[in-house]
Chains A and B, each alone.
Chain A
Amino acid sequence: MSLLEAKGIKKIYKTRNGGVPVEALKHVDLTVEKGEFVAIMGESGSGKTTLLNILAALDRPTEGTVVLDGMDLGAVKNAAVARFRRDNLGYVFQEFNLLDTFSLGDNICLPLVLAGKKPKEMKKRLDALAQPLGIADLLKKYPFEVSGGQKQRAAVARALITQPRIILADEPTGALDSRSSDELLALFGQVNRAGQTILMVTHSTRAASRASRVLFLRDGTVIHQIRRDGRTDQEMYQRISDALTLLANGGDRK
């Protein structure tokens, strides 16, 4: 059974004063298997972030269902959604959203602090993450003392520390230079290989080429997908580029 399964997702934004409704998602079907690294690509306004928000239960679809690990998100009561997110989801954003007055270590532990975990437990989990993420030396530093890439790694650590079933990343490389982007993607690859399921929204071909599967979104529907099927990153990059060129030229392959 799939870890995440979205069926017939439709999202219509209505403006308050009776303006024209905007159909952000027309009809999206999507499944993510356990241990997969899925990238969703699309241009600005294609509905990527809307889809991600719905999958994260941050927003509710107008129509359709989302089932995560057998749980129907639509059936989860509002009061229980937070609990659900805490136990199942980790987030990485384009902006790192770290607290300025906290050291990186403290920022990473913040979710555990709120969960009321013991300091000892926090330290254990932090140490386990810091080494592989390459931020062991940075834990005492403050966000303004480190680079964007380092901040983003801390943000990834913050998402991972609660041991979520799935990591949702919204343009994680959007604010990074190319080197930092590569490092971050390498990191994503690394945690993915360790069994972590990742769903990433991006419009960077380079970022998407690390994924095991790439979905293309346009005008609120999935119009194409590419599976890795044993391809190297380079080959993936090529295929994605080709697909994008084709799509840009008006192709409508499914």
Chain B
Amino acid sequence: MRNPLRKRLLRDLAGDAGKYIVIFVLMVLSIGLISGFLVAANSMIYAYDEGFEKYNVEDGHFITAKKMNTAQALAVEDLGVRVGEEFYIEVETDESNTLRIYPVRESVNLLCLMDGRLPENGSEIVIDRMHADNNKLKIGDTITSGSRSWTVTGFVAFPDYSCLFSNNSDSMFDAIRFGVGAVTEEGFSALDQDERAFCYTWQYLESPESDEEADRMSKDFLPALMEEVSVREYLPRYQNKAITFTRDDFGNDRTMMMVLLYIIIVIMAFVMTVIVTSTITKEAKVIGTLRASGYTKGELLLHYVSMPMIITVISAVIGNIMGYTFFKDFAASMYYNSYSLPTFVTLWNARAFILTTVVPLVIMAVITVTILARKLQISPLRFLRGETSRRKNRRTLRLSRKIPFFSRFRMRVILQNLGNYAVILVGFFFADFLLAFGMLLPVILNSFQEKILDEMIAKYQYILTVPMEMTESEHKLEGLISGVMFMRGVETDNPDAEEFSVYSLRTTDASYITEDIMLYGVKDDSRYFRADIGKEDVFISSAYAEKFRIGPGDTVTLKEAYEDETYTFEVTGIYDYSGGLAVFMDQATLNRIMDMDADFFCGYFSDTPITDIDGKYIGTVLDQEALTKISRQLDHSFGDMMFIFEIFAVIIFFVLTYLMSKVILEKNAHSISMTKIMGYRNGELSRLYILPTTIMVLLINLICLPLVDAALARVWRYYICQRMTGWMPYIRDIPSYIKMYLLAIVTYMVITGIQYLRIRRIPMDQALKNVE
């Protein structure tokens, strides 16, 4: 004879199929989704890491002012590196996207061809797969830039652009407006050669083992390199966001996903506990008998816990299978939406398996065991009498007789089910949280975008690239010459242009991630800067103030990016500017602090485009497009994720209200049957038994929203402070909250319909049959 308990489990499963299926589906979906994400992320990270070798990725690159001559190239190679040419030319396409075009690489940073073929003649091009996706380009389409045009023959992933940062100082990448492509040598030489950026990659003969070593090697390499050539940009790989950002971001996503999964499991564990508790109540007398025959709490506990555990195990197994198949592809497509990654092979991921199987099982076990063990704590004698409430003398709360009978009745139903409502409260809180996140993000992004545009100092901020020699005291003559060249090159006749100086320093506050702070020196009679700034005034941007919680009177300490020198400022005011973390002061003051001439400047504010300065001196243009890049990209990357959050939120609403109202009705089936016998009609019964839950659901949801708002504000701040550079304030958007409330109500209405049918089905003889 087989163990009869197994049969019992099956029968229980069949008997409560409705409830268990709902829980099962939710758990499979969440485990599947998370497992899919982890597997995809892990496989992609593996492919990404492997790509360094496979595609022979650079250890860094530098851009020189002029093409290096052979002697220089040899001299640089003597510094212990292999140098490769990787010139590029940026063109603006007719869709006003910037396309950075390289010749097809042959030795370093090799392309991963994802679809189509490589270009074969001068009028063909391969472009980055993600940029193509974002701009809905297909193979065979034509890209035009003025008089030139190319046919797209394939999509590729550039290993040095897994994330499409056009400029390493950008706080967010822009895969929509910025793209990279490759053409044949012939195609490249047909482009305007004056526009070439003389970019050289380097690879150490002995590869560094760690980021620390890479840091040391690159710091040794830079001064030696500068002895040989004039360097305009120097970017070792470990600092190159276009390469490193992707990997960092995978990690962040993982944390978010895991939190999502575990909260769902916790809620489901509570729901399971409620279901099993009602079974225990039903079987109280048998439990009493068994306990009286000498069976321990532990043995009974094991039995009652096995159902939740079995369901979790099955969910985990099926969830993982789905994770490796369906959800993995889904997750991969989401990552491909944000990152330009090479193709990957799915890898078995032991860590993902533990995180999505073992950990949920442990959570389920801890919660069910803790609660059910308390429940089974009741003495065998009381079980035998069918008393399953833990309180010994259950005194009924006295309700005033002045309250109408029906209200009192409903209050009794509510009081009797407080535990279930508590589970609903926890679940709703979480569901509302997800929903709020999903609904508020677009609102936050939009409002941020508007705010930035409102507060722009000028429509255009040109930040000029000052030749390195100008700031180097060792090359006096060269510095002087290039200084003169620079001054001449950046002269403008645009009457809107106003000079300013700018300097970049880094934050030193260890409790936040390190940020680049822009120090602006503005003219005292500035047309663009909207505040009066005195000689000794130090204003910080509102974004800086909000993020670091700094106000007037506080001091800030900043340091040079690659050196130890620090600067301390006392803040005297806050300037409304959300476009970035910045410090504003008088131009002369800033120049003095930074050891520059009093009339030095390196940027222009202007409300009209400046067209008459030498393009090679323009480092960055901060216009509307550049400043809103971050919100555009976040919207694009998280768009799908927000949708998932909303779906999960609705499913949780549905599952919770369904299961809990079902349990409440089952608990009361006997009394409902009895009241039916007394002649109550179905409508009246639902007013007695469904209305209380309705009231509670409405109330709970109302309580949840402000809690969610408070929690979200904190999480938002934490996320932005710990994970992101820049600042985007959280917005309490009331219309979104109203929408959320309505959504929850609509979901509940559907459930109520089902419950009404259920009440109708409870037969009258139930009360007569079960006398015990």
Measured between C-beta atoms, what is the minimum distance from B523 to chain A in Å?
Answer: 83
Question: Which A residues touch B292, using CB under 8 A?
Answer: 56, 58, 85, 89, 91
Known: A97-B285, A99-B286, A101-B15. A119 touches B3 (CB 8 A): yes
A231 interface hit (Cβ, 8 Å): no
Contact B294 A85 (CB under 8 A): yes
The one of B7, B283, B288, B392 in contact with A16, judged by C-beta atoms closer than 8 angstroms, is B392
| Contact among B2, B8, B293, B381 for A90, CB-based, below 8 A | B293
Instruction: Mark each residue of chain A from 80 to 112: 1 if its CB lies under 8 Å from any CB of chain B, else 0.
Output: 001111111111010101110111011001110
Q: How far is the CA of A158 from the CA of B286 in the complex (A)?
A: 12
- Evaluate contact between A89 and B294: CB separation under 8 angstroms: yes
Q: How close is A92's CB to chain B, nearest CB, in angstroms?
A: 9
* A111 and B285 form a contact (CB under 8 A): no
Give chain B nearest CB distance to A15 CB in angstroms: 8
- The one of B3, B8, B15, B294 that contacts A99, using a Cβ cutoff of 8 Å: B8
A16 and B4: CB pair below 8 A?
no
Known: A58-B379, A95-B772, A114-B299. Contact between A83 and B294, CB under 8 A? yes
A113 at the interface (CB under 8 A from B): yes
By a CB distance below 8 angstroms, the chain B residues around A106 are 4, 7-8
CB-based contact B11/A59 at 8 Å: no
Chain B 296-338 residues near chain A, CB threshold 8 A: 296-297, 299-300, 303
B297 lies within 8 A of A82 (CB)? yes
Residues of A within 8 A of B381 (CB): 53, 58-59
Knowing A83-B296, A110-B290, the reply to whether A58 touches B380 (Cβ < 8 A) is yes
Cβ–Cβ contact B1 & A86, under 8 A: no
Contact of A114 with B289 at beta-carbon distance under 8 Å, contacts A58-B380, A119-B2, A119-B3 already known: no
Q: Which residues of B contact A110 (CB under 8 A)?
A: 4-5, 290
The answer to whether the Cβ of A126 comes within 8 Å of any Cβ in the partner chain is: yes
Check: B112 CB closer than 8 A to any chain A CB. Answer: no
Q: Does B568 contact A (CB under 8 A)?
A: no
Residues of B within 8 Å of A16, CB to CB, are 392-393
| A97 contact from B289, B295, B393, Cβ within 8 A | B289
Any B CB within 8 A of the CB of A123 = yes
- Residue among B1, B283, B294, B380 making CB contact with A122, cutoff 8 Å: B1
Are A97 and B286 CB-contacts (below 8 A) given A58-B379, A114-B300, A119-B1? yes
Does A114 contact B1, Cβ atoms closer than 8 Å? no
Q: How large is the interface on A (under 10, 10 to 19, 20 to 34, 35 or more residues)?
A: 35 or more
Q: A99-B8, A99-B283, A105-B4 are in contact. Are A87 and B294 (CB under 8 A)?
A: yes
Q: Which residues of B contact A150 (CB under 8 A)?
A: none
A102 to B5, CA, bound (A): 9
Closest to B380 in A: A58
A102 to B15, CA, bound (A): 13
Q: In the complex, are the beta carbons of A111 and B379 less than 8 A apart?
A: no
Return the CB mask of A158-191 against B: 1 if under 8 Å, else 0: 1100100000000000000000000000000000
- Name which residue of chain B comes closest to A117, CB basis: B3
Task: Verify B289–A93 contact, CB threshold 8 A.
Answer: yes
Which listed residue, A59, A85, A109, touches B4 by the CB 8 Å rule? A109
| B contact residues around A159 at 8 Å (CB) | 293
> What is the bound-complex CA distance between A85 and B381, given in angstroms?
13
Chain A nearest CB from B713 CB (Å) reads: 46
Q: Are A109 and B294 in contact (CB under 8 A)?
A: no
| B676 interface contact, C-beta 8 A | no
Interface of B is mostly: helix
In A4-60, the 8 Å CB interface with B consists of 15-17, 53, 56, 58-59
**Across the interface, which residues of B come within 8 angstroms of A158, CB to CB?**
289, 293
A209 vs B5: C-alpha distance when bound (angstroms): 39
Interfacial residues of chain B within 139-194, with CB under 8 A of chain A in the complex: none
List the B side residues contacting A162 at CB < 8 Å: 293-294
B12 within 8 A of A: yes
CB <8 Å contact, A91 and B293: yes
The CA of A111 and the CA of B300, in the complex, are separated in Å by: 10
Query: Which of these, A59, A88, A103, A114, contacts B290 with CB under 8 Å?
Result: A114
Can you name the residue of chain A whose Cβ is closest to the Cβ of B6?
A113
Residues of B within 8 A of A95 (CB): 285, 772
- Determine the chain B residues whose CB is within 8 A of the CB of A98 once the complex forms: 286
Q: Is B237's beta carbon under 8 Å from chain A?
A: no
Residue among A15, A87, A99, A119 with most chain B CB within 10 A = A99
A66-B1 Cα distance, complex, nearest whole Å: 38
A113 and B392: CB pair below 8 A?
no
Q: What chain A residues lie within 8 Å of B632 (beta carbons)?
A: none
CA distance A56 to B384 in the complex (A): 13
Q: Which residues of B lie under 8 Å from residue A53 when comparing CB positions? A: 381
In whole angstroms, how far apart are the Cα atoms of A39 and B285 in the complex? Answer: 24
Residues of B within 8 A of A113 (CB): 3-5
Decide if B662 is an interface residue (CB 8 Å cutoff). no
- Cβ-based interface call for B291 (8 A): yes
A53 to B288, CA, bound (A): 12
Give every chain B residue within 8 A of A123 (Cβ-Cβ).
1
Residues of A within 8 A of B393 (CB): 15-17
**CA A59 – CA B291 in complex, angstroms?**
13
Chain B residues, Cβ within 8 Å of A119: 1-3
Shortest distance between the CB of B287 and any CB in chain A (Å): 9
Assess the A97–B288 pair: CB atoms within 8 A. yes
Q: Mark B215-243, 1 if CB is under 8 A from A, else 0.
A: 00000000000000000000000000000
Task: Please indicate the chain B residues that have their CB under 8 angstroms from the CB of A126 in the complex.
Answer: 1
- Nearest CB in chain A: distance from B397 CB, A: 15
B289 touches A91 (CB 8 A): yes
Residue of A nearest to B303 (CB): A114
Assess the B11–A101 pair: CB atoms within 8 A.
Answer: yes
Within 8 A of B (CB), among A124-169: 126, 158-159, 162
CB distance from A168 to the nearest CB of B (A): 8
CB-defined contacts of B384 to chain A, threshold 8 Å = 58, 93, 97
User: How far, in Å, is A190 (CB) from chain B's closest CB?
Assistant: 21
- Is A82 a contact of B283 with CB atoms below 8 Å? no
- How long is the Cα–Cα vector from A154 to B286 in the complex, in angstroms? 13
Q: For the complex, give the distance between the alpha carbons of A49 and B498 in Å.
A: 100
**Residue on A nearest B386 in the bound complex, by CB:** A95
The answer for the CA separation of A119 and B1 in the assembled complex, in Å, is 5
Contact residues in B for A111 (Cβ distance below 8 Å): 290, 293-295
Extra contacts, 14 of them, besides A98-B286, A115-B295 (Cβ < 8 A), are A56-B292, A58-B381, A82-B295, A86-B296, A88-B294, A89-B292, A91-B289, A95-B285, A97-B286, A97-B289, A99-B8, A105-B4, A113-B4, A114-B290
A-B contact pairs, 23 of them (CB 8 A): A16-B393, A58-B292, A58-B381, A58-B384, A82-B296, A83-B296, A85-B293, A86-B293, A87-B294, A89-B293, A93-B289, A97-B289, A99-B8, A101-B8, A102-B4, A103-B4, A105-B1, A109-B1, A111-B294, A111-B295, A114-B290, A126-B1, A158-B289
A residues near B (Cβ < 8 Å) are: 15-17, 53, 56, 58-59, 82-91, 93, 95, 97-99, 101-103, 105-106, 109-111, 113-115, 119, 122-123, 126, 158-159, 162
Nearest 10 interchain pairs by C-beta: A86-B294, A85-B294, A106-B4, A97-B289, A82-B296, A114-B299, A123-B1, A97-B285, A114-B295, A91-B292
User: Which B residues are within 8 Å of any A CB, using their own CB?
Assistant: 1-5, 7-8, 11-12, 15, 283, 285-286, 288-297, 299-300, 303, 379-381, 384, 392-393, 772
